[in-house]
Structure 1
Amino acid sequence: MDAFEVHRRLIEDYRTFSEGFVDVHDERIRARVEQEGARGAQWPAPWSSLNPSFASGGRVDDLVREGLLHQECSRIFRVKKASEDRGSVPITLHRHQSDAVRVARTGASYVLTTGTGSGKSLAYMVPIVDRVLREGSGQGVRAIVVYPMNALANSQREEMRKFLEFGYDGRPPVTFARYTGQETEDERRAILRNPPDILLTNYVMLELVLTRPDERRPLVEAAHGLRFLVLDELHTYRGRQGADVAMLVRRVRDACGAGQSLQCVHSTIPPPGPPHRHRHRPPPTGPDRRTPPDPHRRRQPRPRRRPAQHRLVTFVGLHDRLVRGATAPYTPSAGVISTMGAPIPRLNRSGCLRSPHQRSLPTR
């Protein structure tokens, strides 16, 4: 297929369609319309982009040999194409994915900020599967993964099928299930009767689970001592919706009796704009190393704060100020794994988060 020919024909068909019902009688206006049409004012220029190349973090086998992952992970996380395929080559992780595995092994919560299509899901699924393998499957719900849209939950379920079901003859080493309201009555009863190790849901359904008695009893009791709570695409929760989800997280923590052992993992995209660069003032000049002020020089305005970066900074404090409670003593356990040049926020003693772009920002 010739992409350029397809592009030319698409534009020509759209131009013929849009100009077919326009009849301009004024000669000057008609000439201008034809001129703008020939210039291509009706459609934008083609968008072209290159996929970023991430630093390699080693193969899963390497992490197994280091003792960071359970031995069964080398069999699970392989390239598989069919249900009978056991996989021949272990997958190679990106650097930020292997960093996430190392942070998760310490028991700390972390925020992963990286672009779309860079493997954010593996950055929390690999540690979750490793924890379930070490503690044993069938011990109840060990992890709850919350998605903002059902489409993301559906896509993640298919990816997990490739790793946990392909090559295991219907006996996955770690069980998982989607519970978003799309299930049939039989599927719903099966989940309530035998809760999985990993539950994929959305924030609306998680709220209903806490309020419906017939669902709260089996699922919440099965999730007692919850190990992982994941909020995927964290940047989508803002404003009133963000406040609702914050309260929901507190209720889930209390209902499941998670306590201090709960690991919160959040994935989000980096803030927009070019990578951060530190700004340095030029060195002083002149014989006495002092430069007299220029009366004609206008004072440069201070840069405006970046709303997206403010959200990222606030998200980093979720574990200490949201999950543990706003009145809990400050303990800097939330780590940040950043890629693509995104600035990493810093923590100060007062429990606020500092970023190169902002002053101290309270996390409440």
Structure 2
Amino acid sequence: MPLHPILVLDQVIDDYRNYIRTEFRAKDPALNAAPELDRPRFLAQEPFFQAHRPFRSGKAWPDLPLDPRLARAMTARTGGAPAYLHQSAAIEELCSPTARPVVVTTGTGSGKTECFLLPVIQNAIEDVARFRQPGLTAILVYPMNALANDQLLRIEQYLEESGFQGAVTVAKYDRGTTQAQREDLRRKPPHILLTNYMMLEYLLVRPADRDGIFANHRCRFLVLDEVHTYRGTLGSNIALLVRRLRTHLQRARQDWRTEVSPHDAPYRFPTLVPVGTSATIKSVSEEAISRQEALRRRDAAVQDFFARLTGVEPATIQVIGEEVEEVQTPPEAQYALQPPAGVSVDVNDSESVHQALCTLAGIDQATPLAEAARQCRLLWDLHHWLIRQPLSITDLVDRVRQTIPGRTDAPLDAVYHEVATALIAGAALPDGTPGALRLRSHRFIRGGWQFHRCLNPACGRLYPLGEAQCSTCGYQTAPLHLCRNCGADYLQLAGDPLEGPLHPFRSGVDEVEWMLYEPSRFETTFADEESEDEPEEETPRARNRRQRNANVPTQMRRRPVLHGSFDPRTLSFSANRTDYPLEVILAPARIRCLCCGGTAGSRNVVAPLSIGTSAALKVLGEGLLGALDLAHRTFTGHDGKERLLIFCDSRQDAAHQARFITFASRYDRMRRNLVRLLEQEGPLTIQRAVELLADRGVRERDNPHVPEAPRQRLSLEERERIRAWEEAPVLDELALSASYRATLINLGLVGVVYEGLHEVVQESGSKVAEALDIDLPALEHLCRCLLDEIRMRGALSRPMLRYHPQHTSCPR
């Protein structure tokens, strides 16, 4: 089934909403409900849509100055379609003997990579034919390794499909390049070198690498991909880097074929031609000026920027932008007389899409699908509007009401439904259908949640972005925390409660924290001092209070636990429980829950209710990859691997996100595989489960310790490493982090059975049960609870646990 961008994005956001609701299970039902998550535009802003722009066609691939075999490969790749006009212009300019600097500024999916990649490959092919000697002919610089990896794969595919694999050499120079690989590059420089600006800097300051790789070069092209990212300080550094590179290339060792004919001289000693690629650039607003003037200003701005970056003359820089085909609205296209009501679209049912289009156009339901799409004027108007700029549904509704006479006074909700229906139906049309919408969907989604809660108990509203004051009642808010074990909630305050009012805790400020806990909200109240008029017979409620009070610590980390009352408006505390409306306990630390008594070893058991951007990114990424997998299952020749490109603020942020996704995905993988094994095999011992998980990891080759080259037999050491990698997350969730909510058992995915427990209790438990005044089933339950507690404290006879930092026998 083709990917439907609108519905996929809606589903991903629904998954994200469910993730937030289930990630933190609070004891308070009001927190679990979290009505804010269902509020319109709370979790995600309104989407913006942009229609795929049909670019104007240029020359056929065989008519461009490309090797016939390379042209045939491109013809096969594009299904016989010609190059786009901007591709033709860039290829012809860069393949000419007098090539000038070029900047290609076109949108995503416009094929701008081919604008420089094909000339680079063509130049390398001609170099091989002319000189048959290793040596640089082009350097491609990318802002990120992910882009370089993708381009390397594409170059290798083009070379293989055109028959030049092995003749034209291509290599990467990045952090992963080993010493042996660097020696190979020095000994036999590639024709095409891919790197990033940081590693290009290293290349220039490593004399052995620089002198060896640049020796006898014929470097004609320097490509700067995503050149619009080189701004500010980074842009200044790149500008200096380009000038140093040019100088080093001019001074590089040239001791081979130094005497050449005038015809070969431009190829043996070429002039370096800088090439840049960029997303679509607009230097100014285009509202009040002609298109020609807008293009002139854009070209001047791009020429000035690229000249400063590369040191070439601005007038020599050729700026190549995109040209789109004009969309012609059929003269018979029309709107329905009134915005249709009650129209729903099932994108998996072509008849549902057909009926929706007929209704939108106000035509007979028997009209064929293609003709119905052709006569639906709203589809064509959406094309015109969304090709020019991204617009939200609200923006589109305004356009319809302003430009369509029959919609000027129509109800806003009716027009909104009409536009939304047209977007969904138009995006569901098969390729080639007149008026089919090919949309890009853009949406801003909230991440980095830091939940605060209103201090007013009658309000208690949640604020996911840490807003300091409640917009409903005007009370202050404070950071919300939950017990990892039972879900009891706390509010984090700071200050000296015995000297004056407290205040909400501020992150990054060094001050004493206090965790505000209301025991009465969780049926946990604490006994007052004994009084003379206390009834002789203790009620169940009083007994419950006394027992729980016995478990409340008197201090934490050498600071007292305070009992008293609290005023949520002034944030004042009194040791007298009747001075203020709320009876509370102030805990000076988060190492123990006052509700369930739970702890988390050396870590805090009461944790902030927050979700970082890493968790949000993981959930959203997994949703998108799942949608891509469904869409590609019917694609012939698809390799089964889905790819998602994620842009981060910095290299450090990218590394952090990658580590988190890798770590979290490892646990998700373990849970998924273990559940499948238990469904297939039935109950398993830990040892057998680990063995089967390892066997699956070898079969699927998704365990990092599986050797790269498939072998019939693995060594004992290799099998132990594979099993250890599979066992670690299992033991972590069964024995070390077992009290956390998002674990195998607490998620309800698996259960633990203690083998032989029933038999032992039946055979030997009678005396113990009699002494405890319980029956044997109750004794068995009690034993299971004790064994659970032992397991959850890490007391399992597994050798790997000895090497966990939390284990008492771990080497220090």
Fold conserved (TM > 0.5)?
yes
Shift, 1:214, TM fit: 1.6
Aligned equivalent of 1:116, options 108, 111, 126: 108
In 2, Cα distance between equivalents of 1:62 and 1:112: 21
Structure 1 equivalent of residue 18 of structure 2: 13
Alpha-carbon distance in 2 for matches of 1:107, 1:230: 14
State the partner residue of 2:153.
158
Equivalents in 2 of 1:177, 1:52: separation in Å? 34
Aligned length: 291
For residues 13 and 225 of structure 2, the distance between their equivalents in structure 1, rounded to whole angstroms, comes to: 39
Question: Is the CA contact (8 Å cut-off) linking 2:140 and 2:224 kept in structure 1?
Answer: yes
- Per the alignment, residue 56 of structure 1 pairs with 57
Equivalent runs, 1:261-276 vs 2, <5 Å: 261-271=271-281, 276=286
Q: Of 189, 211, 229, which aligns to 1:217? A: 211
Matched, 1:251 2:248: no
Partners of 1:102 and 1:167 in 2: CA distance? 19
| Greater mean deviation of Cα atoms: 214-223 or 170-179 | 170-179
Once the two structures are TM-superposed, the CA of residue 47 in structure 1 deviates from its matched residue by 5.0
Measure the CA separation in 2 of the matches of 1:315 and 1:194.
35
1:354 corresponding residue in structure 2: none
State TM-score, norm by structure 2.
0.32
Distance 1:221 1:92 in 2: 39
The 1:275–1:166 alpha-carbon spacing in structure 2 relative to 1, beyond 3 Å, is farther
Question: Which blocks of at least 5 consecutive residues in structure 1 are unaligned?
Answer: 81-87, 281-305, 325-329, 342-364
Match of 2:321? 338
C-alpha separation in 1, matches of 2:238 and 2:17: 48
Structure 2 Cα separation of the partners of residues 8 and 251 of structure 1: 48
TM-superposed deviation, 1:134: 2.6
Q: Structure 2: how far apart are the matches of 1:9 and 1:244?
A: 43
Distance 1:332 1:210 in 2: 29
Partner Cα distance (1:187, 1:90) in 2: 39
1:226/1:257 contact within 8 Å kept? no
1:228: Cα distance to partner? 0.7
Residue type of the partner of 2:188?
A: N
- Which residue number corresponds to residue 323 of structure 1? 311
How high is the TM-score relative to the length of structure 1?
0.67
C-alpha deviation, 1:97, in angstroms? 0.7
Counterpart check, 1:188 vs 2:185: no
Write the deviation string for residues 150-171 of structure 1: whole angstroms up to 9, x where unpaired: 1110000011111112463x84
Q: Does the aligned pair in 1 maintain the 2:86–2:320 contact within 8 Å? A: yes
1:299 maps to what in 2? none
Question: What code does the residue aligned with 2:227 have?
Answer: L
Shift of 1:278: 4.9
Q: Give the counterpart letter for 2:152 in structure 1.
A: R
| Residue 96 (structure 1) aligned to one of 86, 95, 108 | 86
Q: Tell me the secondary structure at the aligned position of residue 319 of structure 2.
A: strand
Counterpart Cα distance in 2 of 1:38 and 1:239: 39
1:71 deviates by 3.1
| C-alpha displacement of 1:316 | 3.6
TM-superposed deviation, 1:44? 2.8
Structure with larger Rg? 2
More off after superposition, 11-20 vs 180-189? 11-20
Sequence identity (%): 31
The answer to whether the 8 A contact 1:114-1:339 is kept is: yes
**1:128 & 1:154 partners in 2: Cα distance?**
17
Name the SS for the 1:332 alignment partner. Answer: helix
- Report the 3-state secondary structure (helix = DSSP H, G, I; strand = E; otherwise coil) of the residue aligned with 1:93: coil
Q: Against the structure 1 CA distance between its residues 71 and 275, is the aligned structure 2 distance closer, same or farther, given a 3 Å change threshold?
A: farther
Contact in 2 for aligned 1:115/1:340 (Cα 8 Å): no
Q: Distance in 1 between matches of 2:115 and 2:32?
A: 57
Corresponding position of 1:141: 136
1:176 Cα deviation after fit: 1.1
Taking a change above 3 Å as real, the CA distance of residues 248 and 21 of structure 1, as seen in their structure-2 partners, is same
Q: What amino acid maps onto 2:206 in structure 1?
A: R
Q: Supply the RMSD in Å over aligned alpha carbons.
A: 3.7
